[in-house]
Amino acid sequence: MTTTPTNTDATTNASASLPATTNTTLFEWVGEMAKLTQPDHIVWCDGSDAERRRLTEHAVATGVLKPLDPKKRPGCYLSRSSPNDVARVEHLTFICTPTKEEAGPTNNWMAPADAYAKLGKLFDGSMKGRTMYVVPYVMGPVDSPFSKVGVELTDSVYVVLNMRIMTRMGRAALERLGDSNDFNRGVHSTLDLDPEKRFICHFPEDNTIWSVGSGYGGNVLLGKKCLALRIGSYLGKKEGWLAEHMLILGVESPEGQFSYVAAAFPSACGKTNFAMMIPPRRFKGWKIWTVGDDIAWMRVGDDGRLWAVNPENGYFGVAPGTSLKSNANAMQTTAKDTLFTNVAATADGDVWWDGIDGEVPDELTDWQGRPWKKGAADKASHPNSRFTAPVTNNPMLSREWDNPAGVPISAIIFGGRRADTVPLVLQSFNWLHGVYLGATLGSETTAAATGKVGILRRDPMAMLPFCGYDMGTYFGHWLAMRHRIQNPPKIFLVNWFRKDEEGKFVWPGFGENVRVLKWIVDRARVRIGGRETPVGWVPREGDVDLSGLDISAERFEIATKVSAKEWMKELESQGEWLASLGPTVPAALHKQRELLVAAMATHPDLAEEG
């Protein structure tokens, strides 16, 4: 079945716009999917401004988007999702590899034939009376060998407009694809948003993603979590690179020296804020440049170093908590040409969310479009409300962000939210130990995420919901990468969230984290000291520049303390975690743990701490 490049598609009776390609594999697939979903119209997206204006007008006319005040938020719109469709749905997300073992114990699995049959039934006629948009896109700089092409077929104009911000979308993608059949095949149909008919299925062997029954970001903007991470990690294993849930930033020293780091934090640990961090005034001359805030694709360069690109073109960030204090660059980034989802609206045509600067207004329209009064029990903005903003709005966007070669990574940082045990910063002894720190990464839940506070959830490399294959095999791939990287980045663990005995945060966080980042970069360049502990290197008091910061030597010691007692407990829990992942966890990681236990067990502190 082919869709021919004519104005009426002979095979489906759908009217079709003219595609700018002669790729017959692509036509055949679009035709096949159109035959299944039966749209009234097929629109090939070209990514032009005229198209954006036309689709935005259509979205406004049909109530999908609400324009905001053009003076307060030029080019900005608000969208409200169905109240039952406000977040990623991990329990409805499946990896459809031929065997369950390939998906591993941390993923939901469905046999590919069963998944195609089940979702095929849901897709059958699902676009009747609707338009199918053909959205070609590139993840990564258009001319980069790192990059991948995807095509998403969707019946949601909201998806098209978001994909236009989040990816390099349209004609450039078709040009890059040419006549190749190497593209990700994504199909998305909104259906009636019944959660019983909601599935996000990944077919790594077919480079295919099928998503039904949702209209929410992470489930339907298929380039992001689905392609760039789940399918990406699978391709990375196959092709010898890494697709990671990591921000990428550049640190510029007062002397103008640049160092690049990649960092993985589980959701809700302030990744976007870290990627856009503004150093405190006392750290004059230091600048942080954002390369990416969520995903890093990393390959070994000809020089034997690890090079990273950000495959995305926009930020799909959590709005609540974003303010001038926590992230002034994000505030500027979202000042124009931004799509907001599920935030509250003010009477004068602006947006509002919990934690934004200024007084809470007396009255708002809440994220469900209902009148809201100050002091009401329900939140006006949904805790997972979002902004979709182009990277080019970011005043601190790295000039390297679109470099086809990427940026050379000097340090990899893993971080979580831990009230105890994990020091402010810890440097691994070597790559294997660093991979161990990533594999056992954990973070404590916040109320926003689960309703329960302080439960430790292991989230290896922050990839638990995003690894497209078996976790133990993924660790093996990380270890194997060491043999390809002659000059590997140093690996660190950080924790901004340690508390004292009274439950107060020990470290001020936010922009002050640049002090830790400086130590990390200096360690990576082997030009600053540290103290060796049985579980890694930590800074001594004089190693971190604390000038102008009101933190006593005692508190810095609490922040960087490695307690033998806490670590013995931690190592035991890490052992249980690794065991729970089954037989594919590399023996080297188990051995690494045994070494750490042995080193800790003989540590004199253990006796002292009692």
Catalytic residues: 269
CB of 320 to Mn ion, least distance (A): 15
Query: Min. distance of Cβ 385 from Mn ion in angstroms?
Result: 15
Q: Which is nearer to ligand OXD, 152 or 294 (CB)?
A: 294
**How long is the chain?**
610
Place of tokens 């404590």: 444
Distance CA 511, CA 280 (A): 6
Binding partner of residue 218 among Mn ion, ligand OXD, none, CB cut-off 5 to 8 Å per kind: ligand OXD
- If the CB atoms of residues 219 and 495 are measured against ligand OXD, the closer one turns out to be 219
Helix (H) or strand (E) holding 199: strand 199-203
Contacts of residue 168, Cβ cutoff 8 Å, sequence gap at least 6: 47, 137, 138, 139, 141, 142, 313
Residue 294 interacts with ligand OXD (CB under 6 A): yes or no: yes
Binding partner of residue 545 among Mn ion, ligand OXD, none, CB cut-off 5 to 8 Å per kind: none
The site map against ligand OXD for 40-79 (x = CB under 6 A) is: ----------------------------------------
Task: Tell me: does residue 312 bind Mn ion (CB under 5 A).
Answer: no
107 binds, among Mn ion, ligand OXD, none (CB under 5 to 8 A by kind): none
Stretch 164-223 residues interacting with ligand OXD (CB under 6 A): 218
Query: Distance (Å, rounded) from C-alpha 184 to C-alpha 165?
Result: 19
Tokens representing 78 are: 């608000």
Cα 299 to Cα 237: distance, rounded to the nearest angstrom: 11
Q: Which is nearer to Mn ion, 92 or 432 (CB)?
A: 92
Q: Least CB distance from residue 218 to ligand OXD, whole Å?
A: 5
Structure tokens at 98: 């031929």
Q: Which is nearer to Mn ion, 286 or 401 (CB)?
A: 401
Binding part of the chain for Mn ion, among 179-187, 287-295, 353-361, 505-513 by CB under 5 A, reads 287-295
For the chain, how long is the longest CA-to-CA vector? 81
Tell me which residues in 240-259 interact with Mn ion (CB under 5 A). Answer: none
How buried is residue 13: exposed, middle or buried, by Cβ count under 10 Å (0-12/13-18/19+)? exposed
- Judged by beta carbon, residue 294 or residue 354, the one nearer ligand OXD is 294
By CB under 5 A, residue 51 contacts Mn ion: no
CA proximity to 199, closest of 215, 189, 191, 211 = 211
Q: Are 33 and 154 in contact (CB under 8 A)?
A: no
| Contact of 298 with 264, CB cutoff 8 Å | no
Q: How many residues bind ligand OXD (CB under 6 A)?
A: 3
Instruction: Select the span of 103-111, 204-212, 291-299, 596-604 touching Mn ion (CB under 5 A).
Output: 291-299
Which of Mn ion, ligand OXD, none does residue 563 bind (CB under 5 to 8 Å by kind)? none
- Nearer of residues 136 and 218 to ligand OXD, judged by Cβ: 218
Query: C-beta of 21: minimal distance to ligand OXD in Å?
Result: 31
Q: In whole angstroms, give the CA distance from residue 35 to residue 31.
A: 6
- Give me the least distance between CB of 48 and ligand OXD, in Å please: 28
The pair phi, psi for residue 397, each rounded to 5°, is -65, 130
DSSP 380: S
- Binding track over 261-280 against ligand OXD, x by CB under 6 A: ------x-------------
Q: 3-state SS string over 131-144?
A: EEEEEEEEECCCCC
Query: In the numeric block, which tokens belong to residue 556?
Result: 């810095």
Out of ligand OXD, Mn ion, none, what residue 272 binds, judged by CB under 5 to 8 A for its kind, is none
Query: Which of the stretches 58-66, 289-297, 299-307, 410-418 binds Mn ion when contact is defined by CB under 5 A?
Result: 289-297
The C-alpha atoms of residue 24 and residue 532 are separated, in whole angstroms, by: 60
**Residue 314: closest CA among 403, 401, 250, 377:** 401
Place of tokens 């540590």: 603
Question: What's the min distance (Å) between Cβ of 87 and ligand OXD?
Answer: 8
What is the nearest approach in angstroms of Mn ion to the Cβ of residue 123?
27
Closer Cβ to ligand OXD, 112 or 218, answer by number: 218
Distance of CA 577 to the CA centre of its chain: 23
Which residue minimizes CB distance to Mn ion? 294
Smaller CB separation from ligand OXD, 218 or 321: 218
**Do the Cβ atoms of 131 and 155 come closer than 8 Å?**
yes
CB neighbours (10 Å) of residue 529? 12
Candidates 294, 350, 366, 444; binder of Mn ion (CB under 5 A) is 294
Determine the residue with CB nearest ligand OXD.
267
CA distances (Å), origin 165, targets 186, 312, 316: 17, 9, 9
* Stretch of 188-196, 292-300, 374-382, 469-477 lying at the interface with Mn ion (CB under 5 A): 292-300
For residue 267, the minimal CB distance to Mn ion (Å) is 6
The residue (of 218 and 472) whose beta carbon lies closer to ligand OXD is 218
135 CB-side CA count, 13 A:
32
Binding site for Mn ion (CB under 5 A): 294
Binding site for ligand OXD (CB under 6 A): 218, 267, 294
